[in-house]
Amino acid sequence: MIKDANTIIERRACISGIGQSEIGRRLFRDPLELTLDGCLAAIDHAGLTTADIDGLSTYPGPGGMPAGFSGAGAYEVIDALRLNCGWYGSGLETSGQLGSLVNACLAVASGLANHVLCFRSVWEGSAQGDKGRSAVMPGGAAGGGFKASGFMEWNIVYSAPSAAVWIALFAQRHFKQYGITREQMAWIALNARKNAALNPKAIYREPLSFDDYMNARMISTPFCLYDCDVPCDGATAVIVSRIDRAKDLRNPPLRVEAVGTRIDGRPSWDQFDDLTQMPNRAAGRQLWERTDLKPSDVQTAQLYDGFSWLTMSWLEALQLCELGGSGDFIDGGANIALDGKLPLNTHGGQLSGGRLHGYGFLHEAATQMWGLAGDRQIASAPEVGIVAAGGGNTCGCLLLVRE
């Protein structure tokens, strides 16, 4: 197959601007206002105005989700900014948080829009209230007669209501199969914290030592407290432009070289056929089938760390290390450090930077590729970056190339 923009049509799309609202552990600000702050920052950064924006895409859209999971839906933002859209969409059932970005790429590639505003907005920090996290208890303190159905029927009944537990089950099997240890996994969290110290917008910036990590309280083995990301408030926005409309804009286009959206096997947290991998294995394979670039060409990786093991899973799924080799690859932290061969989660990830839920990684890849990362800038601004988000049955990835 000739891999050009005629066959790999996401190559007709690029990222032309990025923006972010204020980010904090608990801001107690209006989520729509935060969302609009992020969106307007991205539009301005691209050198565009709201009149130029003719598409909108977001994950997950409004309604029916845990408190704080969605700061705004598509219609709210379209209305608040008085946008006219040739195409728009939102939704939860897609290739992870980045599925919304892939949809935008396809929309500009097909000519339905020229400049699509994409955003992800969360206020999970404030949604916990000022007393901290409350118990996971649908129906109130005593259960209130609540009965589990649908997806929850098969986990919450067994007192396993959190993705921490579901993903721990994968991590444990993966560790067992390949002889990987907590001492190795620690480097995901330690690397994130070290980078967060250089990111003024990160949530946790104070030093974290190996001993701090090893002595932390356990959540669900092999995960300790520092393997779990931190809920926060904030909105991240990205402008996806048709590449022929981006040439004269403010920033060098970050062309979308290839995306990975594929899912093989049961789209399930516990019925997936291989507990040492996740559905991201197919998305990773698909991405590399759509480009002549190789994993060795990647100069920075921004890989989802809702739980630290997910980053290890993505390293393997994207073939940035061998299958089962992520423990050795990250051990000691040298390979993944800011000055290492594959700078990873250079903003602190979600573990230390805050759970911006996928889009934070996209924002950071673009920030590094444009040389805008300040104290945490990779010495030579990367020309090729890879971004991945999601875990369990929700996963997507993309490869970016600076023109």
Partner 1 sequence: MTETETTGEHGEHAEVPFRILPKLTDRNRDFWTAGARGELRFWRCQDCGFYIHPPQPICPRCHSKNMKTEAVTGLATVASFTVNYQPWMPGPELPYIVAIVEIVEQPSVRLTTNLVNVAPDEVDIGMAVIVTFEHHPDPDGDVYLPVFEPNTGAQ
Given a contact cutoff of 8 angstroms between Cβ atoms, the answer to whether 13 and 245 are in contact is: no
Q: Does 131 bind partner 1 (CB under 8 A)?
A: no
- Min dist. Cβ of residue 354 to partner 1 (A): 20
Number of Cβ within a 10 Å radius of residue 21: 27
Please give the residues from 253 up to 272 whose contact with partner 1 meets the rule CB under 8 A. Answer: 270-271
- Min dist. Cβ of residue 106 to partner 1 (A): 29
Considering the complex, state which of residue 133 and residue 247 has its C-beta at the smaller distance from partner 1: 133
Q: Which of 106, 64, 68 lies closest to 88 in space, CA to CA?
A: 106
Among 67, 157, 214, 334, binds partner 1 (CB under 8 A): 157
Q: Does 247 bind partner 1 (CB under 8 A)?
A: no
Contacts of 369 (CB under 8 A, 6+ apart): 254, 300, 381, 382, 383, 385, 400, 402
Considering the complex, state which of residue 172 and residue 319 has its C-beta at the smaller distance from partner 1: 172
Among 220, 251, 308, 311, binds partner 1 (CB under 8 A): 220
Quick one: tokens of 219?
């959540």
Among 1, 82, 131, 158, binds partner 1 (CB under 8 A): 158
Q: Does 165 bind partner 1 (CB under 8 A)?
A: yes
Among 51, 136, 214, 323, binds partner 1 (CB under 8 A): 136
Give the C-alpha separation, 116 to 32, whole Å: 18
Considering the complex, state which of residue 143 and residue 374 has its C-beta at the smaller distance from partner 1: 143
Give the C-alpha separation, 69 to 64, whole Å: 10
Q: Backbone phi, then psi, for 341, in 5-degree steps?
A: -75, -20
Q: Does 149 bind partner 1 (CB under 8 A)?
A: yes
Q: Does 162 bind partner 1 (CB under 8 A)?
A: yes
Report CA-CA distances (Å) from 272 to 149, 323, 340: 20, 17, 34
Quote the crossing angle between the two packed helices 163-178 and 308-317, to the nearest 10°.
Answer: 50
Among 59, 166, 304, 309, binds partner 1 (CB under 8 A): 166
Considering the complex, state which of residue 74 and residue 160 has its C-beta at the smaller distance from partner 1: 160
Give the C-alpha separation, 154 to 27, whole Å: 35
Question: Environment class of residue 215 by beta-carbon count within 10 Å: exposed (0-12), middle (13-18) or buried (19+)?
Answer: exposed
Considering the complex, state which of residue 271 and residue 296 has its C-beta at the smaller distance from partner 1: 271
**DSSP helix/strand/coil, 55:** strand
Among 138, 179, 267, 374, binds partner 1 (CB under 8 A): 138
Q: Does 129 bind partner 1 (CB under 8 A)?
A: no
Q: Does 215 bind partner 1 (CB under 8 A)?
A: no
Give the C-alpha separation, 397 to 101, whole Å: 10
Under rule CB under 8 A, how many of the chain's residues touch partner 1?
40
Binding positions for partner 1, rule: CB under 8 A? 135-139, 143, 146-149, 153-162, 164-166, 168-170, 172-173, 176, 217-223, 270-271, 273, 275
